Structure 1
Amino acid sequence: MTGQRTLEDYLQRYAETGPLALAVAGAIDAVASAAVEIADLTGKGQLAGILGVATGRNSDGDLQRHLDIRADAIIRRCLGRIPIAALASEEAREAEICDPQGRICVAIDPLDGSSNIDINMTVGTIFSILPTPDDLAGCFRQPGTAQVAAGFVTYGPQTSLVLSVGEGVDVFTLDRAAACFRLVRVGLQISTHAEEFAINASNRRHWDAPVRTFVDECLAGVDGPANRDLNMRWIGSLVAETFRILTRGGVFLYPSDARPGYGDGRLRLVYEAHPIGFIIEQAGGLASTGYQRILDLSAQSLHQRVPLMMGASHDVRRIEELHCDPLLIASTTAPLFARRGFFRL
């Protein structure tokens, strides 16, 4: 029974496959240990002094909350027990060189979706594990395809660890009584066609034409090119959106748009889009900027932002078609040829 197998058992078996795997297993175990502490903090909320109000801004200009800082400190302490070459965090301007002899580098978003903490919605931790390159300065400039493992933790009604070491996607749930994660789902696969789509529709007026066209096709349901009805969702927490796609399918869009500061997208490539893209692909889905595969990108800076469209492969390919072929958009929006246009029979 999968529920009886612990993360420790899982990692011990994986670590036996080689020295690099041993280092990766150590980092995953450290993140899991930190997650147990963070889950306790988020579960207690204001009883533990956790508030959703902003306390300042991080080095990249985003609002920083009390729990962001505490989660970052917990993860740093746990990862500090093992030999990693470098650590990059959303909460720090520069990457920290830890042990130059370490086999791996770790990039982390300590608390994704922290703006949701005061309304009791799901938040999480995202992590990416990379092999240490010959030039340590280029550790976090590697393409997403270089990742050897990635995952995220959701702190919600259950605390779940979603993990891939390059052999599919497995899910572990925190057994609070035993303070350990237990394997509950193996080999998650995303349906090729979405039945749900997620986007912040309030920004429609700022979207580029390909995004508007795709969303219009979704809204048209069985009367449009999608030929099926879709539900719309929006949580505003990347880990929650990804977990929903992994468990019941769908597609998620966080595009670039015309607002100041959003021209290159909003999610960070190194510690958000890369690890989430890795997970999505390992589950049979796709992750794209709209123009190219997320995992093919190499970061030019630690906090580089990108658009992210991910989930069901059929729908992500449709998004890419609309971005790459302007004539296709014209043909789907021209009144003369629209489903309700002049030539409809």
Structure 2
Amino acid sequence: MHVGLRGLNLASHLLFLTITHCSKLYPSIHTWVTLSPVPTFRAWLHAQLVAGTASLSSDTLQTIEIEFGVNRFAAPKWLLAQLDTHNTSPRFTALARRVLVRLCATYVCFARQVATHKIIDPVANFHLQNGAQVESVNFHADTADRGVSFGVMINYKYSMHLATDNTSISYQRDSTVAVSPSVVPLLINMSPSHHHPFLQAIQDLDHNKKHDIHVLATQFAKGTTILRRGQLPDAVYFIWYCYTAVYRERCDHYISCSLGQVRVDTVPSSILAQGQSFGDAEVVNGEPVRFSVVAMSVCHVLFVRHKDMVTLLDLVPSLRPAAPPTRMDSRL
């Protein structure tokens, strides 16, 4: 590149020139979707499986144990040995689809650079900083021999009336990733019957093309106060992976941690674990937060901003009775 062009994001400029030109040719089109590779996913997945830290759902581990006779503790390294030839067996291909799609969604939403907190994958980082959202994860999208990352590819969606403004600013300022409601089930390692009613309603609205309620993914560092006692809630948060503590008024007791949950050693005990939410009762009832919520280690969450939650409650009034009681100690 010519020295005078250093610091200019030419790829972004060309992207929006193309979208602007096509929008003039086809004025009825407002949404643009890419089909993009995930070039660093394979290396990340390899490291996760070798270390045994890949987030495999209980259903996946059970399938590996029952159908393939592999002990769940040996499952990560067994998967690593099988993935390169996952097309040879229809039975294993079905398992590979489940594993690769879920973990790739996790990767592009939560795997972050230590220094900047931006997403590790360069292609994802490019589209997210330009205002796209993670629209879908596609298995066997690239079956060529030279295909990367087991052929998994991502659709990034650009909605010109919104994504290029709010979503881009949110990612560049706070490293929040915009996520399509259709991707949410891939990020919550729970059966559909256990999904939060708010998330289920958002997915239903998206499926019926009635309204866009925006789900965002973010990461909180150890010690971050996510919600502070007395503040009005800025969002409803859904825990993907965490060590999270609920601090009661006048409480500075010792916090004991275990994977995916934290207990405050008071009576009654308070636990926030994977799949649980906070801020929802306060948003529904229009009241301030009663207890401070603090990340005790790196905490990955999905969240829906307050204004979008208000819109959701207006669109689906039946959700109001589904809100938990107002006192956090009675619902944890």
* Structure-2-length-normalised TM-score: 0.29
* Structure-1-length-normalised TM-score: 0.28
